[in-house]
Amino acid sequence: SDFATEQGGLSAEVIRKAFSATEEEFLQIVKRSWMAQPEIASAGSCCLLGIVSDDLLYVANLGDSRAVLGKRVSVAGEKGNGRVVAERLTTDHNVGVEEVRKEVEARHPDDAKIVIHARGVWRIKGIIQVSRSIGDVYLKKPEMSRDPLFQQFGTPVPLKRAVMTAEPSVTVRKLNPEDMFLILATDGLWEQLSDEAAVDMVLKNPRAGIARRLVRAALQEAAKKREMIYKDITKIEKGVRRYFHDDITVIVMFLDHPSGRLRAKASSVDCVSSPADIYSSSNGSNKDHS
C-alpha cells in the first residue's frame, strides 16, 4: 500500500503505525462532529487485518474478530497426507477471557469496578466486552465522557483514564507449504462455530461461496439456540436481529502453492490467491462489537 511504501516497506511496526493513524483520523472526525453529533464518540469497531507479502503472513487485530489458519499436519502412525487442523493466529481482546480481564485490571489497580459482570458477561465498566478497538472515544478520552453535551445521549461514565486502547496485537509468520487457507471473521461467526468446525467446513466444501456457507452455518446455529429455523431468523427485522446474533463478516483466503514457484527455502511460498469469497451478514446495528 501507499502507507507501507511511505514507511519504507511492510513490517509489524508499520502495521501498528497504520492502526494508530486510523484511530487518530477517527478521533479527528469525532472532534469535528462534536457540536452537531456528540454521540459519535460512542461509535467503535473491532479491526482485523491479514496481509500476505512475499512468503510472510501478517495478521493484526483489535477486539475479538479472529484469524484462523487451516493447515495440514502429519500424524505419526497415520497414512496419507495427514490431517488439517485449526491454528488461531489472533488473541481475542475480550474481557470474557481471563487473561485479558487480568490485563485490564492490572492497568487499573485503583478501580475495583473496572471489570464487572453485567447482563450475563464480563464488561469493562459494565459497558463493553472488548478491551481494544478503533473508536469508542468516550472510553478513551475521559474529558469527552464528562462533557454535558455527550451526557445528553447516555449515562455518564466516571473515568480517571482511558479504559480501552487501539494498540493491535500483530503476528508475523513465514508461510509453509502446509498452510492451506486463512479464515478472517468477526466474532458473530466465532460465537456460533468453533475454530475447528469452521476449518472443517472450508476443507470439505467448494471454494466458490464458502464464506456465504460459513455465515449460513452460523445463522443456523443461532436459530437452533432460539429453537427457530434458519428461514425464520433471516426474516427478523434489522436491528432486532442484534438480540439473536452479532454481525457476521467472513473472508476466506486460500494460500495456493503453485508447482515450481517455491523459493529456494522449502518452507516458503511466493504466491497466494485473492480471497475466493467475501460475504457479510449485518443485523443493522451501528455498533460492530458487543
**CATH number of residue 151's parent domain:** 3.60.40.10
Where helices occur in 178-258 by DSSP H, the ranges are: 187-190, 195-204, 210-225, 230-234
Q: pLDDT tens digits, residue range 73-109?
A: 987 666 667 799 999 999 999 999 999 999 999 999 9
Instruction: Identify the weakest region by mean pLDDT among 183-187, 201-205, 255-259.
Output: 255-259
The total domain count for the chain is 1
Domain membership of residue 120 (yes or no) is: no
Domain membership of residue 255 (yes or no) is: yes
Domain membership of residue 116 (yes or no) is: no
Q: pLDDT tens digits, residue range 234-286?
A: 766 676 566 566 788 999 999 986 654 433 233 323 233 334 565 555 554 44
Domain membership of residue 101 (yes or no) is: no
Q: pLDDT tens digits, residue range 109-159?
A: 999 999 999 999 999 999 999 999 999 999 999 999 889 999 888 777 888
Instruction: Identify the weakest region by mean pLDDT among 9-18, 188-197, 250-259.
Output: 250-259
Q: What is the mean pLDDT of residues 160-183?
A: 95
Helical pair 210-225 and 195-204, crossing angle rounded to 10 deg: 140
Domain membership of residue 99 (yes or no) is: no
Instruction: Give the count of beta carbons closer than 10 Å to the beta carbon of residue 289.
Output: 27
pLDDT at 280: 58
Residue 288 has pLDDT above 60, yes or no: no
CB 289 within 8 A of CB 44: yes
Instruction: Give the burial class of 271: count Cβ atoms within 10 A of its Cβ; 0-12 exposed, 13-18 middle, 19 or more buried.
Output: middle
Q: pLDDT tens digits, residue range 24-40?
A: 999 999 999 999 999 99
pLDDT at 155: 73
Structural domain including 253 reads 2-94+130-281
Any residues with CB less than 8 A from the CB of 78 and at least 6 apart, and which? none
C-alpha distances in Å from residue 240, one per residue of 133, 219, 235, 286 = 24, 14, 10, 12
Domain membership of residue 114 (yes or no) is: no
Domain membership of residue 72 (yes or no) is: yes
Domain membership of residue 260 (yes or no) is: yes
∠ Cα 180 184 188 (to 5°)? 135
